[in-house]
Structure 1
Amino acid sequence: MTDENSMTKEKPFAALTPDFILDAVESRGFYSDGRAIALNSYENRVLQIGIEESDPVIAKFYRPNRWTKAQILEEHEFCFELVEQELPVVAPMVTQGESLFEYKGYYCALFERKGGHAPELDNLDSLFTLGRFLGRIHKVGQAKDYAERPDLTPQTYGNDSIDYIIEHALPPEVKMPYESLARDVMKLVDELWQKAGQQRYIRVHGDCHVGNILWRDDNPHFVDLDDSRMAPAVQDVWMLLSGERDQQQKQLLEIIEGYQEFCDFNVAELQLVECLRTLRMIYHSAWLARRWHDPAFKHAFPYFGSVQYWQEQILDLRVQFAELQEAPVSLPIY
Structure 2
Amino acid sequence: MSDLSAQPFYQLTPDTVIDAVESMGYLSDGRILALNSYENRVYQVGIEEEVPLIAKFYRPARWSDAQILEEHEICFELVERELPVVAPLRNAQGDSLFRFGDYRFALYPRRGGRAPELADLDHLYRLGQTLGRIHLVGAAHPFKVRPPLDIQSYGRDSIDFISRNFIPASLRSAYTSLTADLLVGIERCYAAAGDVRQIRVHGDCHGGNILWRDDTPNFVDFDDARMAPAIQDLWMLLTGDDRQQQQVQLAEIVEGYNEFADFDPRELHLVEALRTLRMLNYSAWLARRWEDPAFPHNFTWFNTERYWGEHILQLREQLSALQQPPLQLL
So what's the TM-score if we normalise by structure 1?
0.96
2:42 to 46, 49, 53: 46
SS at match of 1:13: helix
Q: Distance in 1 between matches of 2:292 and 2:165?
A: 15
The one of 17, 20, 24 equivalent to 2:20 is 24
Specify every segment of 5 or more residues in structure 2 that has no aligned partner in the other structure, as ranges: none
Q: Does 1:117 align with 2:111?
A: no
Tell me how far 1:104 sits from its aligned partner: 0.5
Offset of residue 13 of structure 1: 2.8
CA–CA distance in structure 2, aligned partners of residues 93 and 7 of structure 1: 28
1:230-241 matches, within 5 Å, as: 230-241=227-238
Alignment partner, residue 78 of structure 1: 74
Q: Residues 5, 137 of structure 1: CA spacing in aligned structure 2 closer, same or farther, 3 A cutoff? A: closer
The runs of 5 or more residues in structure 1 that have no matched partner are none
1:319 aligned residue (304, 317, 320):
317
Give the C-alpha shift of residue 175 in structure 1: 1.0
Identity among equivalent pairs (%): 59
Matching residue's letter, 1:246: Q
Q: How far is 1:167 from its partner?
A: 1.2
Q: Which residue of 1 aligns with 2:305?
A: 307
TM-score by length of 2: 0.97
Q: Does 1:256 align with 2:258?
A: no
Residue of structure 2 aligned with 1:94, choices 70, 90, 96: 90
Deviations 1:169-210 (A, max 9, x none): 111111111111011111111111111100210000000000
Q: Find runs of 4+ consecutive structure 1 residues off by over 2 angstroms.
A: 3-8
Contact 2:128 2:256 in 1 (8 A): yes
Whether the aligned pair in 2 keeps the contact of 1:203 and 1:231 (CA below 8 Å) is: yes
Cα drift, residue 96 of structure 1: 3.8
Match status 1:148 vs 2:145:
yes
Query: Do 1:28 and 1:96's aligned partners in 2 also have CA atoms closer than 8 Å?
Result: no
Instruction: State the Cα RMSD in Å.
Output: 1.2
The one-letter code of the counterpart of 2:53 is V
Among residues 57, 61, 74, which one is paired with 1:61 in the alignment?
57
- CA-to-aligned-CA distance 1:66-124 (integer Å, 9 cap, x gap): 00000000110100000000000000000242111111111100000000000000110
2 CA distance for matches of 1:5 and 1:211? 29
- What SS does the corresponding residue of 2:29 show, helix, strand or coil? strand
SS of the residue 2:157 aligns to: helix
Q: How many residues align?
A: 327
Q: Which residue of 1 aligns with 2:135?
A: 138
Cα distance in 1, alignment partners of residues 195 and 184 from structure 2: 18
